[in-house]
Amino acid sequence: MKNWIKDAVGLGMLLWLFGYVASLVLFFTPFVNNMGWIISVIFTPVTIVITWLWFRARDLPLLYFVKVGIVWTVIAIVLDYLFIVQLFQATYYETDVFVYYALTFLIPAGVGLYLKWNRKNQP
């Protein structure tokens, strides 16, 4: 259970925090209107690498990765609502945000699928 909490809640909140801090930095730049897309382009590959590094040594079922993706997505939705929409009274939900939520689920699920496939196909 301890690994589950670290994987789902701990890593999920840490990755969300990285994006949140980056959005606060970008908010004070001329790129404010495109910050969602900028963060997605930069942090998607970073998140994929971090997720792969985090899970690569463990042989976990695909359902585990799906559950991690669900928790990460719930964390992102709840914390975005509390710390962006409510705190800053922001109009927030545009296409880039929905792409971000989809990626938040798909990254751990996709990494899990890749790891399972890779282990299965090793000689």
Give the pLDDT confidence of 103-117 residue by residue, as tens digits: 999 999 999 999 999
Helices (H), the chain: 2-5, 11-27, 35-55, 62-80, 87-88, 95-120
Q: How far apart are CA 86 and CA 110, in angstroms?
A: 31
In the prediction, which pLDDT does 91 show?
Answer: 80
**Cβ atoms 44, 103 nearer than 8 A:** yes
123 vs 14, higher pLDDT? 14
User: What pTM was computed for the model?
Assistant: 0.93
pLDDT at 1 over 80: no
Long-range contacts from 93-98, C-beta under 8 angstroms, 24+ separation: 94/36, 96/36, 96/37, 96/40, 97/36
pLDDT at 34 over 80: yes
In the prediction, which pLDDT does 119 show?
Answer: 87
Q: Residue 96: which of 80, 83, 110 has the closest Cα?
A: 80
In the prediction, which pLDDT does 89 show?
Answer: 85
Q: How far apart are CA 55 and CA 75, in angstroms?
A: 19
pLDDT at 8 over 80: yes
In the chain, where the domains are located: 2-117
Q: Residue 66: which of 108, 104, 103 has the closest Cα?
A: 108
Q: What pLDDT, in 10s, does the model give residues 49-93?
A: 999 999 999 999 999 999 999 999 999 999 999 998 899 888 878
